[in-house]
Amino acid sequence: MAGRVENAFCNVRPPGHHAERARAMGFCIFNNVAVGVAHALAQHGLQRVAIADFDVHHGNGTETIFHDDPRVMLCSTFQHPFYPYYGANSGNEHIINAPLPAGTGGGEFRAAVTLHWLPALERFQPELLLISAGFDAHRDDDMAMLNLTESDYAWVTGELKNIAGKYARGRIVSALEGGYELHALGRSALAHIKVLSGL
């Protein structure tokens, strides 16, 4: 917000997106991204902040925290039905949930983002974009059963960077969520950071 850097990747653990206002859950203690959004609203006076969450699990904590706050748009893709068994039917005009069946690959993932996230983000025109960057939807990660690859993460990062460039002065704060197969996690995070940094 001070303009010193365009975007940032927070290489943090534990993840945060399952943590609710007053409840730790699913490896998550504090909802890192939600804290960042709340700070942006309260301290920087923003009116529209968007969150994109491509972790394989639905960010139930993030949704419950902001479900009734139209200043915050949450765009999520996640395996469904799957832990935490939330988000398939709870969306509204600023909670954009795109559940994906087990076995979904990059083509269907990109189609869901193109169909559901991007028009909503264009409509919302966020002043700041945060990313819940979980890489556990990678095909090598046996935590779940989606089949994304590094190139899909690079693609979605580029699409989000385009939105941020149009509406948010390029401002993106991405925070690591899940990702449990360490080689795939490293390669995917690298692909994500390369696009963010323009390398």
Other C-beta atoms lying within 10 Å of the C-beta of residue 129: 25
- Indicate if the alpha-carbon torsion angle 161, 42, 75, 20 is positive or negative: positive
DSSP secondary structure of 119-157? HHHHHH--SEEEEEE--TTBTT-TTS--BB-HHHHHHHH
C-beta closer to Zn ion: residue 134 or 168: 134
* Burial of 1: CB neighbours in 10 Å, binned 0-12, 13-18, 19+: middle
Minimum distance from residue 57 beta carbon to Zn ion (Å): 4
C-beta closer to Zn ion: residue 99 or 134: 134
> Which lies closer to Zn ion via its Cβ, residue 63 or residue 136?
136
- 138 is a site residue for Zn ion (CB under 5 A): no
Interface with Zn ion in residues 152-191 (CB under 5 A): 178
Residues annotated as part of the active site: 18
Residue 136 lies near Zn ion (rule: CB under 5 A): yes
**Interface residue with Zn ion, options 51, 134, 168, 188 (CB under 5 A):** 134
Is residue 61 at the binding interface for Zn ion, with CB under 5 A as the rule?
Answer: no
The CB density around residue 164, as the number of other CB atoms within 10 Å, is 25
Rule CB under 5 A: which residues touch Zn ion? 55, 57, 134, 136, 178
